[in-house]
Each structure stands twice: as C-alpha cells, then as structure tokens.
Structure 1
Amino acid sequence: MFKSLLQLKNIALANLFCLSGLIVSAQTNLNKKAASELAASELKAQLAAHKPKAETEWTAKKIQYKNFTMKFTTQIFGDKPADGRSLYISLHGGGGTAPAVNDQQWENQKKLYKLKEGVYFVPRAPVDAWNMWHDYPMDELIAEVVKDEIVLDDVNPNKIYVMGYSAGGDGVFQLAPRLADYWGAAAMMAGHPGDAQILNLKNLPFDAFVGGKDAAYHRNELVAQWGARLDSLQKVYPGSFEHRLHVYPDLPHWMNRKDTIAVPWLASHKRNPIPKDVIWIQDDILRDQFYWLGTDIASAKQGQKVRVKIDGNKIDIINNQDDILYIFLNDNMLNMDKKVAVSINGKKVFKGKVSRSPDIIRQTAAVRLDKDLIFSGRLTVKNGRVTNS
C-alpha cells in the first residue's frame, strides 16, 4: 500500500536527522585520516587568511603590536630547498643608550653574518633599553615574524634560528630557552645570561661565544659558568642539552668575527617539534604553551616547573606545579587509536582513548601556522586528576 505524503515526509525527516547525527558524530570523533585531512585544510585556510597582514607588514618593513613598532630588514641567500627556506633572526647590540647608538648597531648587524641559504632577518629593537630583546612584547613580535615568513617566504618552521651579539646576546640567553619550541638552534655572542631558565634548553642546541677579556658585567666568567652548567646537565640527561662553548682567551668584547662559525653550525640542526621529554619553567614573561604542553595563562606564575615524558602510549608527569596543565597530542606522538596511560609521580591516574577533536585541530592550526604543532587531542590535568577534554 502506498504511504501517505505525510508519512513519507516524516520518514524523510527522520532519515535526515539520523544522517545529521552521523555527520556530527564523525566530526567530533575523527579517525586518523579525517584528522589529518582537516589539519591540512585548516592550515591552508589559516595561511591564506594571514597572507594580507603579512604582505602589509613586509611592504612597510615594520611590525606593529599595540604601541610597539619593530622595524626590520631581510636578505635572502641561496636557492630555496625542497623542504622550505631557513630563517635566521639576528639581534643587534646596544641597549639602554641613545637611539642613534642602537641604530648604528642595527646597521652593523645587517652586515655581520652571511648565510649559505636562508632568510637573514635583522630587526631594530622596538625600545632603547638594556632588556630590549627579551621584555614584553618580544614574544608576540617574534611569533608574528615567524608566521609572516612561513606565509611569504615558505620558511620551514623546523629551520628557524636565533642569534645575537652583545645586548643581542642577552636577548638570545633569554629568548632561546623561553621560546625553545620555536628554534632549530641558538647562538649567543658576547651576552649576559642574567636569570635565563637553562633547563628549558633540554631539546635546543645552544652555541655560546665570549672573549676571555670581556670582563664587563662579568660576561667572560658567567658565559663560561653557563657552559659548565650545560656540561653537567648533559651528563644528567644523556642525549639532551647539546651545546658548544667558545671562550677566546685573548679577545675582548669584539671577537674579530670568530663567532661567524656559528652560522654553519646552526644550519646543521633542525628543530624537533615534539620531543618526548620536555622540561618547562615559566620565565618572567609568561607563556600558555611550550612544545606540546599548555597551561591557563591566568594562573601561570614565574618559576612554575613542569616535566612530562612520553614513551609509546605512556605519559609520565614527573613534575607539575601548574594549577592546570594541558597535554596536547597528535598521531605523530603516539597511537591515538589505542588507550593512553597517564601517571603522576609514578601513580596511574588515567587510561583511555583520547578523542580527536576538530576544535583542537582548528585552534592549534591558527596559533602558530606550524604544521608540526597542530594537535588533535588534549588531556587536562587538574587537582591530580586527568580528563580527556
């Protein structure tokens, strides 16, 4: 018997709702292939969306962030490799002095190093202060530089390096560990370490240069001590804290370009975007993410320490001083089709599958425009408990 039009309409609506439910379910519980495809399409969309802003900044040769302006120059060396260009961010000397002095140091930095391949990016510090390279808002400005260069010059996020001389070296001492997840390697020339968080360098190769007669601010002594500390850490954490130390006994602050050997050394390294053992100590400039770890910036405090290791599908939270700790995951880190086990100080607190979320994919693709730091799942650690959220 033929069904009435009303019956047919009701059946069609029921089927539509059922199909919609399947689509929603598929979107919120992605399989590996769907997650990979969404990550690729979302990254493509974010790159296109960022391009007009990047082009405006590169045309003006300056980046504006709130009331801060950072001028810059770029020079491209060599042919672009198949895996994308390298980027070298080179920080000039000077500091808390007259603007004309810092301008002169900026001009000098433009000619200081030559590359075999890559983009040589030389910014002019946005302020004239002793801490001009590591105070607010340098993190935001560097993040913008990196995104612009990924979009405009096809820079490979795993081949980005930071280097600097004198006050620029001060900046490297601070920015290398604080932003360790940005760099393939770092080179510090004639700077002062101050209160830099050395443990954050666990997965970042670090090259240090100083003249043996560079006694101002005890640079010669402190840089040598920094090298000795890295020697000790390398013994405690085998395979980590790769570094070199160059102390030229007869040279003062100016090292007669002996430090130029840093350039090929930097080029020989690539960033590991998802190291399996991460130490993160918050600096005085707070961050909400470091490699695959995150936190609520509102509750973050200077000096808070986190250490997390991944071995297969096991996650070991060795140390966590954050009120809220996020652990971001993707299929390059572990098998998300299987259960993930989490322990805190050796005590098992979670075992289950971590769902792949479109929201996490979209959020992490937008933050860095970095294909290797797009995550599809997240665990939340709070009050000794771990949840899949």
Structure 2
Amino acid sequence: MLRVASTCGIWLLALVATVPMASAAGSSAVEQLAKFLAEPDGQRGAISKQPFADQPLSRAEAARARKLLITDWRRRLHAERSAELASGSITIGDHTMPIFYRTFGKKPASGRSLFISMHGGGGAPAEVNDQQWKNQQRLYEPAEGVYVAPRAPTDNWNLWHEPHIDRLFERLIEDMIIVEEVDPNRVYVMGYSAGGDGVYQLAPRMADRWAAAAMMAGHPNETSPLGLRNVPFTLHMGELDAAYDRNKIAAEWRDKLADLQKADPQGYRHHVEIHPGKGHWMDREDAVAVEWMAKFTRNAFPKRIVWKQDDVTRRQFYWLAVDEANEKAGAELRAEIDGQTIRLTSDDVPAATVLLNDKMLDLDQPVEIIAGERTAFTGKIPRTIVMLAKSLDERGDPTTLFSGETQVDLH
C-alpha cells in the first residue's frame, strides 16, 4: 500500500509496499504501474513507453492509478521544489522571478489557499519596481493562506503579462502545491496598478488556474473579459484615477461584466467598486477584495467554457486543448456539456482536443460531441494511465487529471 504522512507541513511520502504481483502478462495495468513506480527513478524510462500505459482502465482502476501517480509525483519533486522556494526565486529559461511569501492562519484539511499578489511600477528603473515589490509584500493579509508577492522578472511596461509570466506562475503554483500543501482549487490572483494590468490580462487568460481574481487600479489594454465566465472577478478603482482613463474603463468593464452575466446568469460572477473621492491610491479600501475572493473555490471542470485567446496564446484551457497550428491570438471557442453530450462552437478554430474524466461525465457510456450542427464523434473514450500521467506532468495540478481524450474537427 501507499503511506502518506505530513510533518511540519512537508509531505514525506514512501512507497512501503506494492500490490501483490502476478506475472507481467497476467497482472493488471495498475499493478504493473505500481511495480514500475517502485523502481529507482533513474531506471524507469518513459511511462508512455510501457506496455501497460495505454491499456483501457475501469473507473476504479483509473482512480487507483491516479493516486499512485500523484503520490510518486509529490515524492519525486519535493526536494527539488523545496530548494527552489528556499532560494527565493524561480528561473525558467532566461527569466528569473524573485518571490517573497508569508503564511497566515491554520491550514484547512483540504490544503492552504494561495494568493499571488502582483506589484505596481512597470516601465521604470529597477529600483522603482523593487520598491513597489516591497510595498506589495505587506499590502494585504489574508485570514488564511500563503500570500506570495513575486517580483516581476523585467522592468518593462507590461511586466506582468509577457509570455514568460504564465510559465513562471504555473511553476510557482506547482511548487506551492508540493511544498506548502496548497489546495489547487483555492488559488487566487490579485494586483495593484501595473499589477492590476496583469490581473486584467491573466485572470481570463489563465482562468482555469484561479478560484477568483481581484484587480486594483489597473488598465486592461486590449484584453477581453470573455474568458472570465467561470472566474469570480472583483474590480476596485478610485473614482478620480483618471490617468490612462483607468476610472472610465473600469466603469466600462463593470457594464460589460453585467451584460455578460445577464446573458449567462450562471457565469461571470463579479463585484465592482468605484471608490468615491479616491485617486490611484485607495487608502487600502480595496483590501476587502481579499475576503471577497476567499469565499470562492475553483470550478475545475465547468459545464460551460468560453475560451478567448489573448495575444499571448495558450495550448490548454480547462478541458479543451489545441495544437500549435490552431493556437491563434483572438481565436474563440465555446463548449458545453449536457449529460453525455458535448457541444463545440467556433468560427476560427478548425480542430480541438477534448479532455475527459469521470468527474465530467460517465466514461463507461458513449460520449457524443457535436461541432456546430453536426455530430463529430460518438463512442466510448477509454481511460488510460498514459493520459493520466501526461496531464499531471503537463499541468502539475493533481486535481485536474484527465484519463481520456479525443480530437475533433470543428469545420
């Protein structure tokens, strides 16, 4: 069996025994997976190359395989990610993001909350952005959770919505899940001024990562709110914050979000406050946003998705994915699950991959996928270990593993 223990907030994971083994030919895929994971890390080879990896699984077998893979994932990465957080920075490629974090309150049974809080500044000398980072470190205090103030890797005007930010934030979230026992369904993003610019961009762009988002005193530039369908979004702006028309645009977003929610009452949860008499600095009145966000838990598998690609594109959004050829700025794809039927609609995405698991629908029954007005797929979609392992390795999110997938032509 697998034993998982927690001491001082750090996971200590040990594979103390494995399922009794029959011969390789007669053992189940999950038994073979357990035997594979018990081997030394350097002697395993790629899981995708193993004979058991693409064997169809039952619902119970998929659940067992999922637990084995997550336990092994935590064990393999814990030392490395602990050292990364202890170093005070995360580096991916040519970009390094310093981080400061504090922990508040008692850890819930499901794991800690995580608040990523982006500083202001932008196109300014490094010392200006350094000071803004120091301000952000003490600006907000949640009742519970890990409060992280990262320092932007660059000093550009768009410091929080350049392409490398997505990768760095995903790595930060994964580190916090593994080391600080953060609940992946309680991750929040917030920011002030240029950090608010980042929230406007990253909240819809990375919507599948957030439980809620809070924008303070920022400017959205070209971004669209469409992707916020499943992310509660709060916006705080000083009534007199007229630079770059921030106050006027905040009011416009208030109206846009209200219109979107009116047309789709189950989506676009929002709360907008224009603070009377306040300019760019709101005298901490905006701090109420932290408590507002903390009320929400991420809907990891929403029944309805609106995916609007930003100028920085992404390969996956909730349970939809596209290949590189179809990863286009401005492209829009809508999807909805109704029982065992999935409906996809897009005028500019010719093909997509639908990712599935048993939390979304019953994979023991046939699935119908309708693209536009035609049936694009009907049939059962097998659960496999290779798909579970792929989604864990790609996303670093143990709560959003997918056990099956199918590609669909939309036009």
TM-score after normalising by structure 2: 0.87
SS for the counterpart of 2:378 is: strand
**CA RMSD of superposed structures (Å):** 1.9
Measured against aligned partners, the alpha-carbon deviations of 1:89-125 in whole angstroms (never above 9, x if no partner) come to 0000000001111111111111111111000000011
Change (3 A) 1:171 1:17: closer
Which residue of the partner structure matches residue 94 of structure 2?
A: 67
Q: Which residue of 1 aligns with 2:114?
A: 87
Given that 2:160 and 2:198 are in contact with CA atoms closer than 8 Å, whether structure 1 keeps it comes out as yes
**Contact 1:178-1:197 within 8 A present in 2 as well:** no
Distance (Å, rounded) in 2 between the aligned partners of 1:149 and 1:312: 35
The 10-residue stretch of structure 1 (51-60 or 286-295) with the greater mean CA deviation from structure 2: 51-60
1:218 aligns with 2:245: yes
Alignment partner, residue 234 of structure 2: 207
Instruction: Give matches, 1:56-205, under 5 Å.
Output: 56-205=83-232
**3-state SS, counterpart of residue 72 of structure 1:** strand
1:40 to 44, 48, 67: 67
Larger mean CA deviation between 350-359 and 220-229 belongs to: 350-359
Q: Distance in 1 between matches of 2:70 and 2:52?
A: 23
Deviations 1:126-170 (A, max 9, x none): 000110001020000000000000001100000000000000000
C-alpha deviation, 1:350, in angstroms: 2.0
Opposite residue 323 of structure 2, the aligned amino acid is D
Which amino acid in the other structure matches residue 293 of structure 2? L
* Partner SS, residue 359 of structure 2: coil
Q: Secondary structure at the match of 1:116?
A: coil
Displacement of 1:297 after TM fit?
2.4
| Counterpart mapping for 1:338-377 below 5 A | 338-377=365-404
Number of residues paired by the alignment? 370
Q: CA separation in 2, counterparts of 1:95 and 1:274?
A: 35
SS of corresponding position for 1:349: strand
TM-superposed CA distance for 1:318, in Å, is: 2.4
Query: SS in structure 2 opposite 1:372?
Result: coil
Q: Tell me if the contact between 1:97 and 1:128 (Cα under 8 Å) persists in the aligned partners.
A: yes
Shift of the alpha carbon at 1:238? 1.2
What is the identity, as a one-letter code, of the residue corresponding to 1:241? Y
* Residue 331 (structure 1) aligns with: 358
Is residue 309–residue 318 contact of structure 1 (8 Å, CA) maintained in 2?
A: no
Q: How far apart are residue 349 of structure 1 and its match?
A: 2.7
8 Å CA contact 2:382, 2:404 repeated in 1 = yes
Answer yes or no: is 1:250 the counterpart of 2:292.
Answer: no
For 1:36, give the aligned amino acid.
Answer: A
Structure 2 residue 326 is the aligned partner of structure 1 residue 318: no
- 2:207 alignment partner AA: A
Report if aligned partners of 1:39, 1:365 keep a CA contact under 8 Å in 2. Answer: no
1:305–1:319 CA contact under 8 A, matched in 2: yes
Contact kept? 2:191, 2:198, Cα under 8 Å? yes
1:73-98 Cα shifts (integer Å, max 9, x gaps): 11000110111000000000000001
Greater Cα offset, 342-351 or 241-250: 342-351
* Structure 2 match to 1:305: 332
Distance in 1 separating the partners of 2:363 and 2:381: 6
Of 309-318 and 47-56, deviating more is 47-56
- 1:88–1:162: 8 Å Cα contact kept in structure 2? yes
Partner of 1:13: none
Match of 1:281 among 278, 287, 308: 308
Structure 2 residue aligned with 1:12: none
User: How far is 1:369 from its partner?
Assistant: 2.7
- Report the CA distance between 1:27 and its aligned residue: 5.6
Distance 2:188 2:60 in 1: 32
Higher helix share: 1
Q: In 2, distance between residues paired with 1:18 and 1:166?
A: 61
Equivalents in 1 of 2:365, 2:233: separation in Å? 37
Alpha-carbon distance in structure 1 between the residues aligned to 2:187 and 2:126: 28
Partner secondary structure for residue 137 of structure 1: helix
Equivalent-residue separation in structure 1 for 2:264 and 2:255 (angstroms) = 14
Q: 1:36 to 1:87 in 2, by over 3 A?
A: same
8 Å contact kept, 2:241–2:278 = yes
Letter in 2 for 1:89: I
Kindly state the Cα deviation for residue 51 of structure 1 after the two structures are TM-superposed.
1.7
Check the 8 A contact 2:196/2:218 in 1, yes or no: yes
Q: What is the 5 A alignment of 1:259-274? A: 259-274=286-301
Give SS of 1:229's match.
Answer: helix
**Which residue does 1:8 correspond to in 2?**
none
Distance 1:77 1:20 in 2: 47
Q: Quick one: which amino acid aligns to residue 199 of structure 1? A: L
* Percent of aligned pairs with the same amino acid: 41
Tell me which moved more, 105-114 or 16-25. 16-25
Stretches of structure 1 lacking an aligned partner (at least 5 in a row):
1-15, 385-389
Q: Could you give the per-residue CA deviations for residues 173-203 of structure 1, whole angstroms, max 9, x where no partner exists?
A: 0000000000000000000011112110000
Distance 2:349 2:255 in 1: 29
CA shift, 1:21, in A, is 10
Task: In structure 2, give the amino acid aligned to 1:194.
Answer: N
- Cα distance 1:21–1:71, how it changes in 2: closer, same or farther (>3 A)? closer
